[in-house]
């Protein structure tokens, strides 16, 4: 039976507190809360992490520190090493999307390793993993920021975590045809007064083109009413205020 616990995010020898905080923010955005730190360069806790987390304090407060990568993943049955290069280690290579798809169906906990900002995971770290995760990336510029790498993987994992999608704004239905006809007639009346449909030989085609343009957007009632207000304002004569 698959483990119901979400995957663990392991930051191996992270260098900057700001990047730890940003990684925590990326995790919480997509429903991940368990962060593990392996020998953070500046120790832990790091005062620079909190502001960068932008409210993801629960991730930082519960983060656990380990001396070695092996200790950090000792309870995980499936370890994924995120790296651009294989570094001479022969292992299956998956995209973040494919790796995230297989995680929910596997028994035991899963962990994703992310290397230090400057150099990425060392060969010894990658050797602990059963699978390498590599995103398709520009071969001329394959350097991802630590938080960017975390958010890329976290997003793919979130697709299988039943997270709630933000509620979309309710859209008003299209306006009745009678209201749209009123808008078209109103506009055409104003244009007629300006000889817009001259010459006569082109009038029919111009009317048709105008109607096509106005029927494409599927205006709702408020939009039609607003446009009618605009046209009414345009057809009113300009009133000049009296001056002394």
Q: DSSP letters along 164-205, please? A: PPPPPPPPPPBPPHHHHHHHHHHHHHHHHHTTTT-SHHHHHH
Between 100-104, 180-184, 198-202, the lowest mean confidence (pLDDT) is in 198-202
171 in a structural domain: no
Q: Is the predicted pLDDT of residue 86 greater than 80, yes or no?
A: no
Q: What is the pLDDT of residue 63?
A: 97
Tokens of 83: 């790296």
Quick one: average pLDDT of 176-200? 90
List all residues 6 or more positions away from 164 whose beta carbon is below 8 Å from its beta carbon: none
Between 43-57, 81-95, 105-119, 128-142, the lowest mean confidence (pLDDT) is in 81-95
Q: Is the predicted pLDDT of residue 139 greater than 60, yes or no?
A: yes
How many CB atoms neighbour CB 26 within 10 A? 24
Residues 134 and 217 in one domain: no
Residues 145 and 191 in one domain: no
244 in a structural domain: no
Residues 126 and 182 in one domain: no
Q: Is the predicted pLDDT of residue 111 greater than 90, yes or no?
A: yes
- pTM score over 0.75: no
Residue 65 banded pLDDT, cuts 50, 70, 90: very high
Cα separation, 216 vs 133, in Å, equals 45
Number of structural domains in the chain: 2
Residue ending a domain, choose from 158, 187, 222: 158
Q: Which of 42, 5, 10 is nearest to 23 (CA)?
A: 10
pLDDT, averaged across the chain: 89
Domain extent at residue 193: 177-235
3-state secondary structure of 77: strand
165 in a structural domain: no
Q: Count Cα neighbours of 18 within 13 Å in the Cβ-side half-sphere.
A: 2
Residue ending a domain, choose from 123, 158, 193: 158
Q: What is the pLDDT of residue 136?
A: 86
Q: Do 73 and 140 touch, CB atoms closer than 8 A?
A: no
Q: What is the DSSP letter of 241?
A: P
Cα separation, 157 vs 9, in Å, equals 11
Q: What is the pLDDT of residue 128?
A: 94
Q: Do 53 and 25 touch, CB atoms closer than 8 A?
A: yes
Q: Count Cα neighbours of 240 within 13 Å in the Cβ-side half-sphere.
A: 3
């Amino acid at each position: 039976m698959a483990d119901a616990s979400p995957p663990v995010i392991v930051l191996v020898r992270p260098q900057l507190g700001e990047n730890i905080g940003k990684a925590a923010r990326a995790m919480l955005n997509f429903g991940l809360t368990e962060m593990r730190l392996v020998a953070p360069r500046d120790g832990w806790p790091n005062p620079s992490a909190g502001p960068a987390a932008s409210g993801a304090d629960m991730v930082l407060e519960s983060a656990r520190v380990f001396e070695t990568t092996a200790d950090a993943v000792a309870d995980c049955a499936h370890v994924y090493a995120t790296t651009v290069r294989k570094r001479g280690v022969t292992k299956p290579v998956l995209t973040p999307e494919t790796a995230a798809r297989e995680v929910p169906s596997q028994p035991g906990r899963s962990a994703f390793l992310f290397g230090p900002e400057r150099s990425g995971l060392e060969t010894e770290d990658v050797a602990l993993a059963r699978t390498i995760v590599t995103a398709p990336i520009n071969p001329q510029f394959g350097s991802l920021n630590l938080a960017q790498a975390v958010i890329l993987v976290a997003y793919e994992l979130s697709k299988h975590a039943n997270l709630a999608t933000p509620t979309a704004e309710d859209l008003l239905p299209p306006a009745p045809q009678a209201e749209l006809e009123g808008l078209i007639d109103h506009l055409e009346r104003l244009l007629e007064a300006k000889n817009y449909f001259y010459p006569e030989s082109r009038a029919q085609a111009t009317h048709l083109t105008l109607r096509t343009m106005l029927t494409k957007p599927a205006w709702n009632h408020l939009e039609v009413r607003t446009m009618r207000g605009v046209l009414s304002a345009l057809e009113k004569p300009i009133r000049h205020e009296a001056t002394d």
